[in-house]
Amino acid sequence: MAAVEPSAATTGDAPISYSPAAPYSARLREALTTLSEACDSGNSNASETASFTISDILDTAAVVSAEADDGSDDSEDASRPGASEELLREVLEFLSRPSSISNQMALDALSLVLPKAVAKLGAQMGRCRDVAAAILKFFVSNCSPRDMLSILCEALDAPMELPNGLSSFVLLLDALAKVLTLIQRRYIEQVKVALPVVLKVMHAAVSECVEEHGSAAVDLFNAAHGIGNAIQEMCKSMFNKNKDLYAILGLYSLQNIALVSRSRQQDILSACGSVVFQSFRFLKSSGFTCLGLLTGSDVTAAIDKLSKEEDADFVEYFSFAMDGAALSVVWTHMYDDNDMSKYAGEQLELALKEVQGNHMKKWEAINMLKHVLSSIHYPWIIKSHGLNLMLILAGENHVEEINNHVDFTCYAPRIYATLKAIESVMMAAPVALVRKKAFVALKKVISMVPSSQRFDILHALVNNSTSPSLTAILLDLVREEVSRESRRADNDCVEDDGFRGNGLPRWASHALKLVELILRPPEGGPPCLPNHSEQVISALNLLRFILIIDSRGERSGKLFEKETLHKVHLEWLTPLRPIVAEIQLENEKDADEITNEIACTLNLVQLVLYRCIELVEEKLKGC
């Protein structure tokens, strides 16, 4: 590899020159000597050039060492075992000299350019990290905290290079945490400079790291926790206990909980549990309660507190704070019997009792969990525990009687989003038990919706479903609701208030609209068979069920007018007969395993279809 050639002059006008064959350690010592001489003579240009040369030597050595670790290059001096540590010790020894400590020009020149290169070289194997940490600590202790904050943030604001990039960022974050503890005034201003950079590093780490980077990623999460410790110390030292800084600390903790929960660890519960629960201390000191996290009210209050015009961009860095609030509760629920979360577990139990006694807060808590269930970034184990928590919140008691007296309008869009999140788990979870749990949660949450608006929610879910299997499941739930509503009307011995001009009660009107949506799709033509066989079978079963209800008791013959029956017969049912027959005929010609499966499904379609036609024709005869 070519020797590093500086671009500016030293104490004189002649450029510094090094022998290409000179080892890195010799070139480094020569550059350090040049820096010392330039600073002694007061030549700022030369000292700046020498400091850049030193940085280039360390940076190049780090690249060579990394390549050697990969087995791609072992020809350079820097690739020798212990070479990286030797270079770092040269720098530390230079800084530790009494002459260097008293030479502020040299310290300032090196502090501007070395942190990034030192951290990069310190990420190598051996004792490099300890020596690099000592160098960074020296700069933090002997240079202006404000200057070092800017320098370290600039060093952190660089692309992450795996695998050693994680370790280098850990070194820089540890140094940044020390700098924050040394700042004496204008805390919030400095924190607003540091946190966006820290969170950007965290987000990059979570996005790029894979399972084999597990331990290094946890080290990075712990380093980010160190930043939280520094902010907490700031909060304690503030005379007026500024609430904005506490709000920042709380939101930062929640953002980190969300990011840690996204990490790809082989066993995220054991690998990251301690990291998550360390953040609980910050939440508690920031005034965040388990109830406020469960319902999201504390997060909303903190964001509102910081949502001033000049802070609009800053608040955007906490975009996962709501996720973090829901996840903090899920983590507590997962570790309910663990000593590490004993206090949090007790608080969660109290919060759950309060929420279950207040139907408005219960909806807020259930809606919060959609942040966990809807995201593709959180592991299935966390989503599974999120469903467990949702089932606890929904409870066993029927709350429909209470909810019927609640204005549900403001909750409808959020409940719809929550149900869509549950659907995503139900359809995509790789484990059957989790899919089953999601289905139970879907039914429970739908049952909590006031009966007057339950069909509206179901209609929206069916209308926006893109999966025939899911549509079939939803139509089966509609059939259960039809059964429940028809029995209620029979028990009350009165017609419900849903009767309209066409003589249909509300539940029947909604159900028939859904049947028409499947059997006469809005885009025109008959349904796509055999691809949509599942939802067609469910739609036909729903229609058959309504026709049977209309044939019994006092309600007999009151649900369908003659025009409606003609429409059902001619537009919904009759067009399906030739389609089913044609597909069955084609399958008989090319019999194989797949066509046999299609034939079995179409037999079910045909069976229910013919029964519906029979029921409609019987009713037409009586009109």
Question: Which position has the higher pLDDT, 63 or 521?
Answer: 521
Q: In sequence order, what are the residues at sequence separation of 6 or more whose Cβ sits closer than 8 angstroms to the Cβ of residue 81? A: 126
Question: Which position has the higher pLDDT, 193 or 526?
Answer: 193
Q: Name the residue type at position 297.
A: S
Partners of 15 in beta bridges: 9
| pLDDT (0 to 100) of residue 492 | 62
Task: Using alpha carbons, select from 336, 333, 342, 307 the residue that is nearest to residue 321.
Answer: 307
The span from the CA of 447 to the CA of 402, in Å, is: 12
What confidence category does residue 30 fall into, taking pLDDT thresholds of 50, 70 and 90?
A: very high
Residue 451: is its pLDDT beyond 80? yes
| pLDDT (0 to 100) of residue 1 | 37
What confidence category does residue 152 fall into, taking pLDDT thresholds of 50, 70 and 90?
A: very high
What confidence category does residue 441 fall into, taking pLDDT thresholds of 50, 70 and 90?
A: very high
CA 560, 564, 566 angle in degrees (round to 5)?
A: 120
Q: Which pTM does this prediction carry?
A: 0.86
pLDDT tens figures, 294-323 = 999 999 999 998 887 667 789 999 999 999
| pLDDT (0 to 100) of residue 357 | 87
Residue 401: is its pLDDT beyond 50? no
Q: In sequence order, what are the residues at sequence separation of 6 or more whose Cβ sits closer than 8 angstroms to the Cβ of residue 546? A: 482, 508, 511, 512, 515, 559
What confidence category does residue 211 fall into, taking pLDDT thresholds of 50, 70 and 90?
A: low
Residue 198: is its pLDDT beyond 60? yes
Contacts by 587-590 with C-beta closer than 8 Å and gap 24+? Answer: none
Q: Give the torsion through C-alpha atoms of 462, 467, 473, 479, to 10 deg.
A: 30
| pLDDT (0 to 100) of residue 18 | 45
Partners of 9 in beta bridges: 15
Share of the chain above pLDDT 90, in %: 50
**Phi (first) and psi of residue 15, to 5 degrees:** -70, 155
From 73-82, 269-278, 484-493, the region with the lowest mean pLDDT: 73-82
Q: Where are the domains of the chain?
A: 369-449, 453-622
| pLDDT (0 to 100) of residue 346 | 82
| pLDDT (0 to 100) of residue 443 | 95
Q: In sequence order, what are the residues at sequence separation of 6 or more whose Cβ sits closer than 8 angstroms to the Cβ of residue 25? A: 77, 83, 86, 87, 90
What confidence category does residue 399 fall into, taking pLDDT thresholds of 50, 70 and 90?
A: very low
Task: Using alpha carbons, select from 605, 535, 617 the residue that is nearest to residue 569.
Answer: 617
What confidence category does residue 213 fall into, taking pLDDT thresholds of 50, 70 and 90?
A: low
**End-to-end CA gap in the chain:** 96
| pLDDT (0 to 100) of residue 431 | 95
What confidence category does residue 502 fall into, taking pLDDT thresholds of 50, 70 and 90?
A: very low
What confidence category does residue 50 fall into, taking pLDDT thresholds of 50, 70 and 90?
A: very high
pLDDT tens figures, 244-290 = 999 999 999 999 999 999 887 777 777 788 888 888 889 999 999 99
Residue 432 three-state SS: helix
The span from the CA of 88 to the CA of 91, in Å, is: 5
From 5-14, 152-161, 261-270, 398-407, the region with the lowest mean pLDDT: 5-14
Question: What's the mean per-residue pLDDT of the chain?
Answer: 84
Q: In sequence order, what are the residues at sequence separation of 6 or more whose Cβ sits closer than 8 angstroms to the Cβ of residue 472? A: 534, 535, 537, 538
What confidence category does residue 561 fall into, taking pLDDT thresholds of 50, 70 and 90?
A: confident
Share of the chain above pLDDT 70, in %: 84
Residue 5: is its pLDDT beyond 70? no
User: Which residue has tokens 């990623």?
Assistant: 217
Residue 523 three-state SS: coil
**Phi (first) and psi of residue 337, to 5 degrees:** -100, 10
Q: What is the number of alpha carbons within 13 Å of residue 418 lying toward its C-beta?
A: 26
pLDDT tens figures, 511-523 = 999 999 999 998 8
Residue 74: is its pLDDT beyond 60? no
| pLDDT (0 to 100) of residue 500 | 40
Q: Which two tokens stand for residue 132?
A: 């690099």
Give whole-number Cα distances, 213 to 97, 209, 388, in Å.
38, 6, 30
From 142-151, 171-180, 252-261, 445-454, the region with the lowest mean pLDDT: 445-454
**b/e code 379-417 from CB counts within 10 Å (16+ = b):** eeebbbbbbebbeebbeeeebeeebeeeebeebeeebbe
